């Protein structure tokens, strides 16, 4: 993990160290509870110098598939992902997916379903004081039953103390937790706030770096605008009203977006 934020050039683009590219591996769109449509997210990521972005909408991959189809047009690598809700409401991010992952399963089964597609399973935003975040005890229990391909060592909501504790925990359990990654958990216009650095340029290089554990985690010096009251209202309406209805329908008919 880098100690200092990555600098930003005069055009507002993140400056990566020589030989590295920048990826944001946790972004939401208006397909779930983000406020930006897929095209707007990709345009903003490109403008900020992000080489690869993972669209990880909650329990769906439709927006990610659309983004992946547009990556040539926007000149940015798009990873098909999903933030999967497990049985006890924890979140596991699946990357490099082809199909949506069934929700409300145990963590080991969720990891297995992701890997069946050739995907990578990432522990999302651990050590936060919210139900969807894995605690130290939860991670220990999971590691008795499965391993992971990566863990978010930093996120937008993680305190300085929480980050220190998480880095210490990772040092003790890195074999089971996989590659260190960073993602903004972007729901607003905050793509690029927390990023993953990887050697190379494209999605294949990114995947190889994750498998080989050659990734670095960094925050950036981007000037991120504060969400408006309307932005917050839209996010909350989709998170608290639309997503529960979507999940109920998906469970009932067995079909995901």
Residue range 24-59, pLDDT digits in tens: 999 999 999 999 999 999 999 999 999 999 999 999
Cβ neighbours for 58, distance < 8 A, ≥ 6 positions apart: 28, 32, 33, 82, 83, 85, 243
What is the rounded average pLDDT for all residues in the chain? 95
How far, in Å, CA of 104 to CA of 256, rounded?
13
Closest by Cα among 229, 188, 221, 202 to 12? 221
| The pLDDT value given to residue 160 | 84
Kindly state the tokens that stand for 202: 């494209």
Three-class secondary structure of residue 197 per DSSP: strand
How far, in Å, CA of 115 to CA of 215, rounded?
20
Neighbours of 160 (CB within 10 A): 7
How far, in Å, CA of 224 to CA of 244, rounded?
29
Three-class secondary structure of residue 87 per DSSP: coil
| The pLDDT value given to residue 128 | 86
Q: Give the alpha-carbon dihedral of 75, 183, 237, 224, to 10 degrees.
A: -70
Alpha helices, H only, 85-158: 107-116, 136-143
Residue 129 has pLDDT above 80, yes or no: no
| The pLDDT value given to residue 156 | 80
Q: Which helix (H) or strand (E) holds 150?
A: strand 150-154
Token pair 């932005």 is found at 231
Q: How many residues does the chain have?
A: 257
* Domain residue limits, the chain: 20-250
Query: What digits encode the pLDDT tens for the residues 50-89?
Result: 999 999 999 999 999 999 999 999 999 999 999 999 999 9
Query: What digits encode the pLDDT tens for the residues 138-197?
Result: 999 999 999 999 999 998 888 888 889 999 999 999 999 999 999 999 999 999 999 999
How far, in Å, CA of 12 to CA of 147, rounded?
38
Residue 130 has pLDDT above 80, yes or no: no
Query: What digits encode the pLDDT tens for the residues 197-243?
Result: 999 999 999 999 999 999 999 999 999 999 999 999 999 999 999 99
Residue 253 has pLDDT above 80, yes or no: yes
Selecting from 3.90.380.10, 1.20.1560.10, 3.20.20.140, 3.40.190.10, what CATH number does the domain 20-250 have?
3.20.20.140
List the Cα angle 124/22/71 in 5-degree steps: 90
- Measured over all CA atoms, what is the biggest interatomic distance in the chain, rounded to whole angstroms? 51
| The pLDDT value given to residue 161 | 86
| The pLDDT value given to residue 141 | 96
- pTM, two decimal places: 0.95
How far, in Å, CA of 211 to CA of 220, rounded?
24
Residue 1 has pLDDT above 80, yes or no: no
How far, in Å, CA of 234 to CA of 183, rounded?
22
DSSP state of 240: I
Cβ neighbours for 240, distance < 8 A, ≥ 6 positions apart: none
Start-to-end CA span in the chain (Å): 35
């Amino acid at each position: 993990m880098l100690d200092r934020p990555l600098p930003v050039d005069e055009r507002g683009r993140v400056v990566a160290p020589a030989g590295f590219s920048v990826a944001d591996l946790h972004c939401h769109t208006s397909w779930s509870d983000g406020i930006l449509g897929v095209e707007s997210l990709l345009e903003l990521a490109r403008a900020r110098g992000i080489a690869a972005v993972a669209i990880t909408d909650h329990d769906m991959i439709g927006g990610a598939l659309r983004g992946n189809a547009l990556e040539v047009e926007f000149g940015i690598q798009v990873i098909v992902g999903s933030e999967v809700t497990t049985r006890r409401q924890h979140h596991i991010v699946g990357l490099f997916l082809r199909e949506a992952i069934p929700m409300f399963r145990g963590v080991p089964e969720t990891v297995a379903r992701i890997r069946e597609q050739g995907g990578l399973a990432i522990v999302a935003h651990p050590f936060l004081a919210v139900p969807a975040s894995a605690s130290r005890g939860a991670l220990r229990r999971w590691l008795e039953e499965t391993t992971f391909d990566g863990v978010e060592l930093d996120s937008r909501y993680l305190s300085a103390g929480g980050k220190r504790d998480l880095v210490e925990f990772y040092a003790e359990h890195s074999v089971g937790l996989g590659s260190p990654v960073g993602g903004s958990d972007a729901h607003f216009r905050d793509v690029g706030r927390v990023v993953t650095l990887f050697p190379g340029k494209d999605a294949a290089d990114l995947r190889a770096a994750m498998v080989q554990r050659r990734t670095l985690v960094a925050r950036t010096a981007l000037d991120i605008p504060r969400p408006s009251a309307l932005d917050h209202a839209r996010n909350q309406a989709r998170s608290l009203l639309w997503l529960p209805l979507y999940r109920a329908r998906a469970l009932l008919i067995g079909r995901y977006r």
